[in-house]
């Protein structure tokens, strides 16, 4: 075990290697995808570099987080141990036999994923990592411009030991819901950017309405949001009739339009 060390785990960008060697004192990057199933895509891999050996890049990382996208990783374990763990948590199981890649290296995903871990899960996922730091920016943060630096600590890192066997990690209910929320907010953010009448939180409330009314496709939810925005002063019907999404959206629009007309006539 060594003293506390810090590394920067930087997301791939076309110009990242050039910037590392231009600003770094000793970049010597390690590719996260090497020695994994993602090795065929190693040219697009996130890169791990020592923060202590590259103070200029470390300073830029905190001063310009939008230009240096990634995570700061602190640990008292060796580089080899930390790198092996970072590679291990790239691959996750879910829904029984399904397997996927967790892009935890991007601050956007990290902002949803790591806060969803309880104390027991934190030990499993962070393992030898004492703390992760990143510029937190959920899709809602982007909408309301409230991004900030966060530090996710792992108080049990000092007691962590390399496991005898390396078993696959599976997403729990909290992580699955957090990643689903990320996708939901991403969809909403791109719709919300195209209009100027609603706050993001109000738009999210309408989106929840639409999903509770069993609209699930992107096209149907976009149409639902458009209709609700047009008649935002009118409460939506408690229930919608059965039928196709198109028929139910038509019923919603006619109902809201009729109530809006009635409200104007009594104004």
In the block, residue with structure tokens 């999210």: 204
85-100 residue pLDDT tens: 999 999 998 877 788 9
Residue 1 pLDDT: 53
Residue 155's CB: how many other CB atoms inside 10 A? 12
pTM value is 0.91
Residue whose tokens read 């949803």: 112
Please tell me the distance from the alpha carbon of residue 158 to that of residue 35, in angstroms, as a whole number.
Answer: 26
**Closest to 200 in 3D by CA, of 233, 225, 217:** 225
**Token reading at 153:** 């600590």
- 70 within 8 A of 105, measured Cβ to Cβ: yes
Burial of residue 238 (CB within 10 Å: 0-12, 13-18, 19+) is exposed
> Which stretches of the chain drop beneath a pLDDT of 70?
1-2, 164, 260-267
> Residues with Cβ < 8 Å from 12, sequence gap 6 or more?
44, 45, 46, 47
CA distances from 109 to 9, 75, 209 (A): 14, 21, 25
Count other C-beta atoms under 10 Å from residue 253's C-beta.
17
């Amino acid at each position: 075990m060594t003293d506390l060390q810090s590394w920067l785990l930087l997301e791939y960008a076309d110009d990242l290697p050039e910037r590392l060697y231009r600003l770094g004192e000793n970049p010597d990057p390690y590719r996260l995808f090497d020695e994994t199933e993602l090795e065929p895509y190693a040219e697009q891999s996130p890169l791990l570099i020592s923060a202590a050996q590259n103070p200029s890049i470390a300073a830029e990382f905190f001063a310009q987080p939008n230009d240096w996208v990634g995570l700061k990783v602190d640990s008292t374990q060796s580089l080899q141990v930390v790198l092996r763990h970072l590679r291990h948590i790239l691959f996750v199981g879910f829904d029984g036999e399904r397997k996927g890649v967790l892009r935890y290296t991007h601050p956007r995903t990290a902002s949803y994923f790591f806060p969803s871990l309880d104390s027991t899960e934190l030990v499993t996922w962070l393992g030898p990592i004492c703390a992760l730091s990143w510029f937190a920016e959920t899709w809602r943060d982007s909408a309301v411009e409230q991004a900030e630096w966060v530090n996710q600590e792992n108080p049990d890192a000092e007691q962590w030991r390399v496991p005898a066997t390396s078993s696959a990690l599976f997403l729990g209910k909290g992580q699955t819901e957090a990643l689903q929320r990320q996708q939901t907010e991403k969809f909403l953010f791109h719709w919300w950017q195209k209009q100027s009448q609603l706050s993001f939180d109000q738009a999210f409330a309408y989106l929840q309405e639409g999903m509770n009314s069993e609209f699930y496709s992107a096209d149907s939810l976009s149409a639902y949001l458009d209709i609700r925005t047009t008649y935002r002063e009118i409460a939506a019907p408690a229930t919608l009739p059965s039928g196709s999404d198109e028929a139910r959206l038509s019923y919603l629009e006619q109902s809201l339009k009729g109530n809006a007309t009635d409200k104007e006539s009594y104004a």
